[in-house]
C-alpha cells in the first residue's frame, strides 16, 4: 500500500486491554538483573503501601536478555508523595510531572500512573487542535496507565510485590514475533505525540524488529507533524536516533518514512534517488563512523556529526552568495554558516556550545591548506585541530583530488618527527618560491608597510 494513500480508521484512543499475568516461574527476569538503586526505590514505595512496578524498556530489555540502559518505575503515589518518601528526589516536567530519585550520577525515574485525559473529573490536561497533548498531568490506575503507553512491548509491568509480569497489550507475543505495534489507533496516537513516529523507527532498528503494518501505514502522511514539536525536544531525540550505535540504519529508515527530512530540511534538499550526492555520501560516512566509535566505547561529539552533515549544504549556500553578492570564498562561507545554522536550529535546537564548535571545524577546512612557514605547527596546537583533520579525511574520501592529498599530507605531518615536519614545510616553501609574490615596500611608514604584509600573508 502506498503510504500517501493511507486513510485512517475510526479513532479509538484507549482500547480495552486484556491483562495477562506471568508468574515468577513463567518469565526469565531476576532481581539480580535490576540495579540496586531501582530496587531500593521499588521496595520503599511498596513498603509505604504504594503499588510499585518496573516498567517500559527495562522490562522489555530484560525479557530479551539485554542490559537495560535505564530502570523506570511507575506507581500510584503522586509526585508530592514520592518527594516525601525520598529526600534525594526532585520533581521535573510540565507536560507530565516526574520524580527523579538521585543516587549520585545514577537517576531512577518514577512516574505516577497516568489516566485518561478526556475525563473531566481531573481536567488538568490540554490538547492542541491537531490532537497533540500539550499538558498531561492526569493521574489514574495501572490499567489506565497501560492503555496510555505507546507500544505493546512497553506496556509490561514487573511487580515488586510478587515478581510477576503484568502484560496489558500482548507485548510478550509481539516480542516473540519481533513487532513494533502501537496501542490504539495509530493516527490518533501519532497526533497526540508525533515523536512516537521517531520512537517506532528507533525501536525497530535497535531491536531489529519490524514495524507492524497498521502502525507503519500513517507515518509518512503524518511526518509533517514533527514540525510542531519544540526544537529542543527534537534535538534530544535526534541524538537518541543517530548517536546511540545504530545511526546509519536509523537514518535510512527515517528517510524512507519522510522523518529525517523534517528534522534536517537543509540536508534533504540534496537527496537523490541514487543516494550518490556528496551530501548523501557524507551522511553514510559520518554516521557509520559514529556507530563504530559507539561500539568501541570512544567519545563522540554531536558537533562533529552536525558539522559533517551540513557541510555540503553550506558549500552550496556559499557558492550562491559568491555569485549573487560578489563575496570572496572565505566571507561567503562565514555568511553561509549563519544561514545554514539559523535554519537548522529552527528544526533542532543545537546548543550554542555545539554551534561554536561546528563553526570552528568549518573554519579549519579553509585554514588547513595554508601550511607555509610556522602555520602548520600553529594549527596543530589548536584545540579543535583533531576534529578539523578527521573531517578533512572524510572529505578526502568523498572528494578525492587535492582534498585527499591535503589529508594525506596532514596525516604524515602529524606522525613525523620535528626534522621531518620542518622538511615538509620547507618543500612547500620551495614549491611556492616560483610563484609571484608581493614584496614589502621599502618605506619610512613602517606601520603601513606592516599592515600591508599582514593582509598579503
Q: How far apart are CA 291 and CA 286, in angstroms?
A: 9
Q: How far apart are CA 388 and CA 29, in angstroms?
A: 46
Residue whose C-alpha is closest to residue 194's, from 169, 167, 224: 224
Cell 548517536 -> residue: 243
Active-site residue set? 70, 72, 150
Q: How far apart are CA 243 and CA 285, in angstroms?
A: 14
How deeply is 51 buried, as exposed, middle or buried, from its count of CB atoms within 10 A (0-12, 13-18, 19+)?
Answer: middle
Residue whose C-alpha is closest to residue 406's, from 364, 361, 369: 369
User: CA separation (Å) from 356 to 2, 282, 363?
Assistant: 42, 21, 11
Cell 556507530 -> residue: 291
Amino acid at each position: 500500500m502506498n503510504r500517501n494513500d493511507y486513510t485512517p480508521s475510526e479513532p479509538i484512543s484507549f482500547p480495552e486491554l486484556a491483562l495477562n499475568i506471568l508468574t515468577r516461574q513463567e518469565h526469565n527476569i531476576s532481581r539480580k538483573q535490576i540495579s540496586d538503586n531501582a530496587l531500593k526505590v521499588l521496595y520503599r514505595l511498596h513498603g509505604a503501601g504504594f503499588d510499585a512496578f518496573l516498567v517500559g524498556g527495562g522490562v522489555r530489555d530484560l525479557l530479551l536478555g539485554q542490559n537495560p540502559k535505564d530502570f523506570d518505575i511507575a506507581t500510584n503515589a503522586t509526585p508530592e508523595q514520592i518527594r516525601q518518601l525520598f529526600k534525594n528526589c526532585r520533581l521535573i516536567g510540565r507536560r507530565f510531572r516526574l520524580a527523579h530519585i538521585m543516587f549520585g550520577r545514577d537517576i531512577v525515574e518514577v512516574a505516577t500512573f497516568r489516566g485518561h485525559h478526556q475525563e473531566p473529573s481531573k481536567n488538568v490536561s490540554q490538547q492542541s487542535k491537531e490532537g497533540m497533548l500539550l499538558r498531561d498531568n492526569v493521574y489514574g490506575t495501572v490499567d489506565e496507565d497501560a492503555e496510555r503507553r505507546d507500544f505493546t512491548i512497553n506496556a509490561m509491568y514487573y511487580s515488586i510485590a510478587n515478581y510477576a509480569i503484568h502484560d496489558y497489550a500482548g507485548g510478550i507475543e509481539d516480542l516473540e514475533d519481533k513487532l513494533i505495534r502501537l496501542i490504539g489507533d495509530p493516527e490518533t496516537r501519532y497526533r497526540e505525540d508525533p515523536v512516537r513516529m521517531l520512537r517506532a523507527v528507533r525501536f525497530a532498528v535497535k531491536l531489529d524488529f519490524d514495524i507492524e503494518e497498521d502502525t507503519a501505514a500513517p507515518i509518512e502522511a503524518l511526518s509533517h507533524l514533527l514540525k510542531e514539536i519544540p526544537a529542543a525536544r527534537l534535538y534530544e531525540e535526534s541524538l537518541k536516533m543517530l548517536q546511540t550505535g545504530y545511526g546509519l540504519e536509523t537514518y535510512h529508515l527515517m528517510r524512507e518514512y519522510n522523518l529525517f527530512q523534517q528534522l534536517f530540511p537543509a540536508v534533504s534538499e540534496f537527496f537523490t534517488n541514487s543516494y550518490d550526492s556528496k551530501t548523501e555520501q557524507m551522511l553514510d560516512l559520518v554516521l557509520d563512523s559514529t556507530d563504530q566509535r559507539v561500539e568501541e566505547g570512544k567519545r563522540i561529539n554531536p558537533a562533529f556529526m552536525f558539522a559533517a552533515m551540513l557541510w555540503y549544504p553550506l558549500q552550496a549556500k556559499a557558492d550562491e552568495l559568491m555569485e549573487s553578492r560578489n563575496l570572496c570564498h572565505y566571507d561567503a562561507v562565514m555568511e553561509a554558516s549563519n544561514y545554514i545554522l539559523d535554519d537548522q536550529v529552527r528544526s533542532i535546537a543545537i546548543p550554542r556550545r555545539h554551534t561554536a564548535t561546528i563553526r570552528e571545524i568549518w573554519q579549519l577546512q579553509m585554514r588547513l591548506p595554508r601550511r607555509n612557514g610556522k602555520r602548520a605547527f600553529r594549527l596543530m596546537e589548536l584545540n579543535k585541530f583533531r576534529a578539523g583533520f578527521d573531517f578533512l579525511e572524510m572529505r578526502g574520501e568523498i572528494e578525492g583530488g587535492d582534498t585527499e592529498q591535503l589529508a594525506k599530507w596532514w596525516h604524515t605531518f602529524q606522525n613525523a618527527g620535528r626534522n621531518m615536519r620542518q622538511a615538509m614545510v620547507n618543500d612547500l616553501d620551495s614549491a611556492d618560491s616560483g610563484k609571484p609574490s608581493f614584496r614589502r615596500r621599502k618605506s619610512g611608514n613602517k606601520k603601513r608597510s606592516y599592515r600591508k604584509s599582514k593582509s598579503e600573508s
